[in-house]
Chains A and B, each alone.
Chain A
Amino acid sequence: MGVERERVAGFGRLEDGLRQAGEWYRWGPYLSERQWGTVREDYSANGDAWNYLPHDQARSRAYRWGEDGLAGFSDIEQRLCLGLALWNGRDPILKERAFGLTGEQGNHGEDVKEYWWYLDAIPSHAWNRWRYHYPQGAFPYQDLIDVNRSRNKFQPEYELVDTGAFDDDKYWIVEVVYAKASADDLLMTITVTNAGPEADTLHVLPTAWFRNTWSWDPDAPKPSMAAGDADGSVTIEHPFLGTLELVADAGPDGAVPEVLFCENETNTSRLFGAEPITPYPKDGINDHVVGGAATVNPDRTGTKCSAWYRLTVEPGNTAQLRLRLRPARTTAATDPFGKNFSEVLETRESEADEF
């Protein structure tokens, strides 16, 4: 019996939920691709879920009932989330979540206007592979809205490929792999390929954040994350998860990325013109990277953080980034990116092949 088959055979009877059924269920791709525009987040009087919390608010508003992101991964109760943000240097916002049209905007109802694929996964989620194609030119947000609005029900949908966003292969191929060294030791690699004809720069911001569990319950303890002792490391303190460390390896140029911090709190001044809850709200990293705003915490602490890599990649070339999330006490024991890192990746991939 293969390794993964043995793991699956070991999963328990699940009476008491997944957590008790097997330790491999503790981390998985449990993040949604879209939490905005859902019934759960809708607190309107008329039940208009799509317009109550639209895409344009998603980056600035803390969600009540769940989280979303690209290549999202989280623990089983979604206390701590991992995901990917990207910026091609030309968009008005970071790409933190897939863009699409709402039920009313699309000429055939709601429709996502991005291309990503779930290439591989196994039940234990010890191996997972995800792929996304990100245009190098400015993402045609408004064009997609306008053209689809002008079309009627008898015309086809206007898709991202129809906008010319991928003409001349001017796009990034981004692959994310999550592999588990053990049930709670998570390896992440981000592989970026320049499919285009010219060298270009991509900002890659692997991101960790807590689901906001404290704003709705005055008694709930608030978790925290802060820059660790080593460069590129973050110490995560959570009342349920314990102490974890997230470590971002040096990029291909040998430089350890800067880690930016903000809070998973609503930007009340942007959305409602109200007094801010914090100077470093949910879109703080977005505003800092895109516009240079002073919206990340200089004390390097918060409830959301991103490692900020800037990769300049020649045409046809590939760059790889590595991160690791694991219980904190292991830090001293092993080099997070030593030989063991690549061995785990190879082993898990071959287990998936076998499965």
Chain B
Amino acid sequence: MVMRQAFGGLLWSKQLFYYDVQTWLDGDPGEPTPPAERLNGRNAKWRNFNAFDIMSMPDKWEYPWYAAWDLAFHCVALAHVDPAFAKYQLILLCREWFQHPNGALPAYEWDFSDVNPPVQAWAALEVFSVDGGRDLDFLSRVFDKLLLNFAWWVNLEDREGNNVFEGGFLGLDNIGPLDRSHLPVGGTLEQSDATGWMGFYTIAMGTIAMILNRSRQRPASDLVLKFMEHFAAIRDALASQGLWDEADGMYYDRLVTPSGTAVPVKVRSMVGVIPALAAFVLQEDDLRSSLMVGKQFSDLLSDEGFDDPDKLRESGVLRGEPGEQRMLFSLAGPDRLERLLSKVFDESEFLSPHGLRALSAYHREHPYVIDVEGVQASIDYEPAESTTSMFGGNSNWRGPIWFPLNYLMVTVLERYHRFYGDDFTIEYPTGSGRRLTLDKVAADLSDRLISIFTDDADGRRACFGGTELMQRDPAWHDNLIFSEYFHGDNGAAIGAFHQTGWTGVIADLIRRRHGEVDSIGDVIRRLSAETREPREPLP
């Protein structure tokens, strides 16, 4: 029932999105000319934008306009029921009447220039994979446009040229003490999530290039290397630029003031977890060619100890028999990953009965105050609605459970597990003394998310919270609420009430839980097996 209503909501949330910015700015013939202020106002730089398309909306009342990063998650869920439509949405976002000539993807109508997490390449891969890994033309087509977008990111959001990225609020509204889009102080905010997202983006692009190359769709080995090199650079920057806090075992944003001092923003939030979402596995063939050709990447490999396979095996990042070896690359690296996960799966921090909180409950008792350049700002754990007016005060990332990040965490845990197998375990929940393999952790996290919607032992659904009418009355009880986000302590629905948009990924999680979803890794392996030529094993 949960899955059927989730898909039902996703499909009902289609809408004609009609918006011709040029006409909207200049006005219609025979109508009064619109006020001149608009020519320098909202979306004035987006005269190329001219949509007249059926699109998937986050919520047709509260958000009756597409949002570029929400849409990526909708597509992953929609791919299970209508892969053609899902592909159409991703292609559309990159069409010339959407994408800016400079490569930027339009975020949403309130301000097309806002910067959202770059998740479209990842979504394209997932859609390709859910669709059975057949439609290489689709992947190739999206890839070309995303190359432009990738270059736009690199040019615009890395001011220092040091591979540490900015980007502003990045879809997470009020998650920091400072408004990350409009810093109240001078300087720049080097963001661990922006950098993490770029690592994530780089991996998705590299993986697409690898698939196109291996499947003989088109020669793309140069691009595989390009993205590997780029990944190596971002990884290096994240490791060395001071975003990691060794004492706390977290990544933090860092404010670099005009005088040049760097102040870490010590908030325990998903911002610092996002680097853990960026991980991929290289197979031996690709390792070999990278070693030969890619300079930065081979440096990275030797840093990792690639000259010494025994050492690599010992640390667990190199596995498999010679000829079939696989190596794990992650932005965080195994040691930091384990420390991060111990925070993430601590029930007094991120892990709630119904999924991961966007901000650690640690801040319930320990509000964080930043005091820099005469500006004071604070943040504490707020599990329900927002108490600030930042970004309209409509959404709250300071404690509630949000589906997109939970969903990515589940899928990356599965990826780690496919690499490590049953050899790698973590204590879950932290402090419980129970050690679990990562697939079991992913399954438990999925079950916590699913339990938002299903009846508990007392016949109550967490999403209805304290609304007794919905808890008890049969005329209400089976009509589910797929809200925008959920209470960080009890899972009650908050925010927009018809956001089967990205909350609709619950349908994907349910299918995954029943083993009905192939992973990208499986799809790549299958494609590789179909096309691979035999090679000599690595020494």
**A and B physically associate:** yes
Question: Which residue numbers of A lie inside 8 Å of B, CB to CB?
Answer: 8, 11-14, 17-18, 21-22, 25, 28-35, 38-40, 43-47, 49, 64-66, 68, 74, 76-78, 98, 100, 103, 106, 108-112, 115-123, 125, 128-131, 133, 153-154, 156-157, 159, 161, 166, 169, 173, 195, 216-218, 355
Would you list the 4 A-B pairs with minimal beta carbon distance, nearest first?
Answer: A109-B394, A45-B35, A123-B82, A118-B12
- Asked if B388 is at the interface of the complex by the 8 Å CB criterion, the answer is yes
Question: Which residue numbers of B lie inside 8 Å of A, CB to CB?
Answer: 4-5, 7-9, 11-19, 24, 27-31, 34-38, 41-43, 52-54, 57, 60-62, 64-65, 81-85, 87-88, 91, 109-110, 137, 384-389, 392-395, 467, 469-470, 475-476, 479-480, 496-498, 500
**A32 near B64 (CB under 8 angstroms)?**
yes
**B61 near A173 (CB under 8 angstroms)?**
no
Which residues from A are CB-within-8-Å of B29? 216-218
Docked complex Cα distance between A44 and B373 (Å) = 37
**B388 near A153 (CB under 8 angstroms)?**
yes
Docked complex Cα distance between A76 and B16 (Å) = 7
**B52 near A77 (CB under 8 angstroms)?**
yes
Q: B239 to chain A: closest CB distance in Å?
A: 39
**A119 near B8 (CB under 8 angstroms)?**
yes
A-B contact list, 5 entries, CB within 8 Å = A39-B19, A47-B41, A65-B19, A100-B62, A112-B497
Docked complex Cα distance between A119 and B83 (Å) = 21
Q: A212 to chain B: closest CB distance in Å?
A: 11
Docked complex Cα distance between A77 and B320 (Å) = 54
Docked complex Cα distance between A217 and B476 (Å) = 46
Docked complex Cα distance between A49 and B19 (Å) = 15
Docked complex Cα distance between A25 and B82 (Å) = 11
**B11 near A33 (CB under 8 angstroms)?**
no
**When the two chains form the complex, which single residue of B60, B385, B470 contacts A34, counting CB atoms closer than 8 Å?**
B60
Docked complex Cα distance between A131 and B478 (Å) = 12
**B42 near A47 (CB under 8 angstroms)?**
yes
Q: A110 to chain B: closest CB distance in Å?
A: 6
Docked complex Cα distance between A196 and B295 (Å) = 75
Closest to A131 in B: B479
**B5 near A157 (CB under 8 angstroms)?**
no
Q: Which of B137, B384, B475 is packed against the most chain A CB atoms within 10 Å?
A: B475
**A121 near B8 (CB under 8 angstroms)?**
yes
**B4 near A120 (CB under 8 angstroms)?**
yes
A-B contacts counted at CB < 8 A amount to 186
Docked complex Cα distance between A120 and B478 (Å) = 13
Which residues from A are CB-within-8-Å of B35? 43-45
**B385 near A153 (CB under 8 angstroms)?**
yes
**A117 near B479 (CB under 8 angstroms)?**
yes
Docked complex Cα distance between A28 and B8 (Å) = 12
**A38 near B64 (CB under 8 angstroms)?**
yes
Docked complex Cα distance between A153 and B384 (Å) = 11
**When the two chains form the complex, which single residue of B11, B36, B387, B393 contacts A125, counting CB atoms closer than 8 Å?**
B11
Q: B35 to chain A: closest CB distance in Å?
A: 4
Docked complex Cα distance between A32 and B476 (Å) = 24
Given known pairs A77-B16, A118-B8, A216-B31, the reply for A153 and B91 (CB within 8 Å) is no
**A28 near B14 (CB under 8 angstroms)?**
yes
Which residues from A are CB-within-8-Å of B85? 11, 14, 18, 123
Docked complex Cα distance between A40 and B23 (Å) = 11
**When the two chains form the complex, which single residue of A65, A125, A131 contacts B18, counting CB atoms closer than 8 Å?**
A65
Closest to B16 in A: A78
**A121 near B393 (CB under 8 angstroms)?**
no
Given known pairs A45-B37, A120-B5, the reply for A21 and B61 (CB within 8 Å) is no
Which residues from B are CB-within-8-Å of A34? 60-62, 64
Which residues from B are CB-within-8-Å of A47? 38, 41-42
Docked complex Cα distance between A76 and B91 (Å) = 18
Closest to A41 in B: B24
Docked complex Cα distance between A106 and B394 (Å) = 9
**B60 near A161 (CB under 8 angstroms)?**
no
Given known pairs A108-B393, A153-B388, the reply for A17 and B53 (CB within 8 Å) is yes
Given known pairs A40-B19, A108-B394, A218-B29, the reply for A117 and B11 (CB within 8 Å) is no
**A66 near B16 (CB under 8 angstroms)?**
yes
Given known pairs A130-B12, A153-B386, A216-B31, the reply for A39 and B110 (CB within 8 Å) is yes
Q: A348 to chain B: closest CB distance in Å?
A: 14
Which residues from A are CB-within-8-Å of B13? 29, 118
**B87 near A43 (CB under 8 angstroms)?**
no
Docked complex Cα distance between A153 and B19 (Å) = 33
Which residues from A are CB-within-8-Å of B30? 216, 218
Closest to B141 in A: A15
Which residues from A are CB-within-8-Å of B17? 66
Q: A27 to chain B: closest CB distance in Å?
A: 11
Q: A163 to chain B: closest CB distance in Å?
A: 12
**A29 near B109 (CB under 8 angstroms)?**
no
**A32 near B54 (CB under 8 angstroms)?**
no
